[in-house]
Amino acid sequence: MIMEFIDLHTHSNCSDGTLAPAEIFSLARSIELAAVALTDHDTVAGIPEFMAAAKEHPECEAIPGVELACSFMSKEIHIVGLFINPAGVKLQEFIEDARLERMRRNRDLLVKLSLLGYELDLSMPQFAGLPLEGVGRPHFAAALIEHYNFTHPRMVFEKLLGRNRPAYIPRRLPEPSRAIEAIHDAGGIAVWAHPVRREANERAFLKRAARKLTNMGLDAIEGYYSMFSSVETAMVTEVAGSLDLALSGGSDFHGANSPDVILGFGAGGLRVPAALLDGLKAKRFPGLPGQVRRPDVYDN
């Protein structure tokens, strides 16, 4: 049987998902994906378990990854690293800085929610077993649903936790050049995740930002995503082609923390072609004269 589809953007309970890394791989196998990547936010803690689960199942390629938050052109953007060595020195330094910043943000968020009348305690089950730096907004949303009058994570984000909402706490984030450098140092390729923001002058921003990121060393861009329409995928594909960027894609799966997003299928209509892997791997191991092959630190 030829497995035709992949999912290169998923999150486990090592960041803000609800499934264990091994469970994500098992689910990917059950729906016959050709490849699946674990790309937790600012952590690589789940990669050993994820890769161990894949050892006896070569029919489904497990790709170690990470998703790094950055500040760029007055916006927060995310750079996904694929095929990384989680022990990369610069990557570990980036992750440690992100850990400290996430702790600061979460402390401030607890205070802000309290001032708004929403008292939360880190002993609540929604935070059980997680260090403060491992807590994300989906964990806060789950606790608010359990203890206050909310019925869905989307409702929590629209009223409290979303950007520019009363409880939103911005993070102090590094430039994407540092994330791209850390990913390359770890032997991986750098992918601009979910680049469509549905704002005014979207196409112009996408082209301008992609060009600047490419000059920083960006390798690929996420053209297939749970919330993208076919028109948006076509727009990203056009920009990728104009800049010689590879295309990637994934669901941004978080398990029960994003119940409308299904592994491999996104919001229902997502199907990321397995053929994209060739272009992504070509970026990792350039074959043109004069190009330098990156260190072979990823062993699949």
pLDDT at 225: 97
Least-confidence region, from 100-104, 114-118, 122-126, 215-219: 122-126
State pLDDT tens for residues 56-90: 999 999 999 999 999 999 899 999 999 999 999 99
Question: Does any domain span residue 227?
Answer: no
Average pLDDT over residues 199-217: 92
pLDDT bracket for residue 291 (50, 70, 90): very low
In the chain, % of residues over pLDDT 90: 78
pLDDT at 34: 97
Average pLDDT over residues 199-219: 92
On average, the pLDDT of the chain sits at: 91
Q: What is the pTM of this model?
A: 0.86
Rounded-to-integer distance, Cα 195 and Cα 75, Å:
11
pLDDT reading at 296 higher than 60: no
Instruction: State the CB neighbour count (10 A cutoff) for residue 257.
Output: 22
pLDDT at 286: 64
Question: Does any domain span residue 128?
Answer: yes
Question: Does any domain span residue 269?
Answer: no
pLDDT at 2: 58
**What domain range includes position 131?**
97-161
Question: Does any domain span residue 133?
Answer: yes
Average pLDDT over residues 109-113: 94
pLDDT bracket for residue 277 (50, 70, 90): very high
pLDDT at 141: 92
State pLDDT tens for residues 129-160: 777 777 888 889 989 999 998 999 899 999 99
Number of domains in the chain: 1
pLDDT reading at 91 higher than 70: yes
Question: Does any domain span residue 237?
Answer: no
Average pLDDT over residues 249-278: 95
pLDDT at 171: 86
Question: Does any domain span residue 154?
Answer: yes
Among 78, 19, 29, 83, which Cα is nearest to 49's? Answer: 19
Question: Does any domain span residue 140?
Answer: yes
pLDDT at 126: 82
pLDDT at 294: 45
Q: Which residues contact 149 (CB under 8 A, 6 or more apart)?
A: none
Question: Does any domain span residue 104?
Answer: yes
